[in-house]
Amino acid sequence: MKPSVRTPLPGPKAWALLERGERVLSPSYVRPYPFVPARGQGAFLEDVDGNLFLDFMSGIAVNTTGYAHPKVVEAVRAQAERFAHVCFSDFTHEPTLSLAERLVGKLGGGYRVFFGNSGTEGVEAAIKLVRYHTRRPYLLAFTGAFHGRSLGALSLTASKSAYRQGFAPFLPGVVHLPFPNPFRPPLGARPEEAGDAVLDHLEHLFQTVLPPEEVAALFLEPIQGEGGYVVPPPGFIPRLKEVLDRFGILLVADEVQTGAGRTGRFFALEHEGVQADVYVLAKGLASGYPISAVLFREELGSWPPGAHGTTFGGQAVAAAAAHATLDLLEGGLQENAARLGEFLLAELRALKRRFPFLGDVRGRGLMIGLDFGDPDHPQPDLRDKAVRLAFEKGLLLLPAGPSALRIAPPLVLTQEEAALGLEILEEVFRAL
């Protein structure tokens, strides 16, 4: 299969739907470009006008197994014929129970699981869990972080002030640290000092305004997602964990975007040799069916029956889709993400040498960020133009952070499809 754009974009049928949307949909929805999907197969999506696109965005890093994978479709159909929902908060049932066992197995045991429907709900549950268990009032998070949009999760989110504007006041007691972005280091640090600078800043806060014994947890994306696909410097996360351990501060790994195999390991934290106290998974876990899982160390499970619950969380069809997704990840997709990620990173670094407006190429597995401009002069307009041009040439991308675009294809991507995407990207960069 090859991308093929045969109509002006948007085509006539897409126009008609977009116009109807203008009349009835919430103005808060974002439309980075006028794409209206009709159906998908593997790593390709067809729009309502019959144009065919190669997908390098996976519905924001969700569609692990691509579109309409027969094993996922079959698992969903089979479970839908039995039952979709009985309410897992009230009644134990398969396949959700065995999904919990399977996820705990990925951490080698010693954890328990709470299921929700979305990443935000997972983060919200994690906030409540760490507060309940520690009875400590403060939470730490990073600028550039995205943890969701409900008021608790939004209190942690700090990737764009537009997400927060108009919604204050937030949860009290949330303190943000600068993220050690090696490309645009905070606190006036040099790139190789970014991690040290942030850890020094944290110690300074502990000595001046923030009693560490009163901090419940730190929320961390092992690679920042919405914030620009930013990988922290090597060794930063293990050293951060040592600081947290000194004060009994829990580490919550928000693996909503990085988890479920996207970086070539099941949890991105595995690359760091660190185990978190709490993990939040969502997005890629069930190939597009809504589910989130909060995995927390057994000893944190002090909340009693009724302390937290949800009607739909752990719904059986989504759990069946998650099982099929895990089968496919274990059957080779996770390895594929690692292998193709290395290939794409190497090729994109070669492109960076030819196109000087590409300031940074970074990532792990199939979670790759391309930053436009240099550290002092981000070029968001050029990035936006690249996303639009790629769309016109049949490649679906998404922006991330102030001036990056993200490459997050489905994990079923083949070597040939990866090469095809690179060809289109090169054409786009030449046109810029």
Ligand X SMILES: Cc1ncc(COP(=O)(O)O)c(C=O)c1O
Can you give the binding site for ligand X, defined by CB under 6 A? 60, 118-120, 123, 146-148, 221, 225-226, 254, 256-257, 282
- Say if residue 231 is exposed, middle or buried (CB neighbours under 10 Å; 0-12, 13-18, 19+): buried
HSE toward the beta carbon, residue 61, CA cutoff 13 A: 31
Least distance CB 424 / ligand X (angstroms): 25
Residue 377, H or E segment: strand 377-378
* Tokens read off for 379: 């070029």
Rounded to the nearest whole angstrom, what is the least distance from the CB of residue 256 to ligand X in the complex? 3
Shortest Cβ 94–ligand X spacing (Å): 24
Q: Which is nearer to ligand X, 44 or 56 (CB)?
A: 56
What DSSP designation does 255 have? -
Residue nearest to ligand X (CB): 119
Furthest C-alpha separation in the chain: 62
Dist CA 336 CA 414 (whole Å): 8
d(CA 185, CA 42): 38
Shortest spacing between CB 118 and ligand X, in angstroms: 4
The Cα 371–Cα 192 span in angstroms is: 18
Q: Closest distance between ligand X and the C-beta of residue 51, in Å?
A: 26
In the complex, minimum distance from the CB of residue 411 to ligand X, in angstroms, rounded to a whole number? 17
**Closest CB to ligand X among 9 and 282?**
282
Residue 221 or 277 having the CB closest to ligand X: 221
Cβ nearer to ligand X, comparing 189 with 220: 220
Q: Is 390 in contact with 355 (CB distance < 8 Å)?
A: no
Give 165: exposed, middle or buried? Use CB within 10 Å, 0-12, 13-18, 19+: exposed
Cβ-based nearer residue to ligand X, 3 or 313: 313
Q: Which one, 51 or 257, has the nearer CB to ligand X?
A: 257
Q: Which residue, chain included where needed, has tokens 């944290």? A: 202
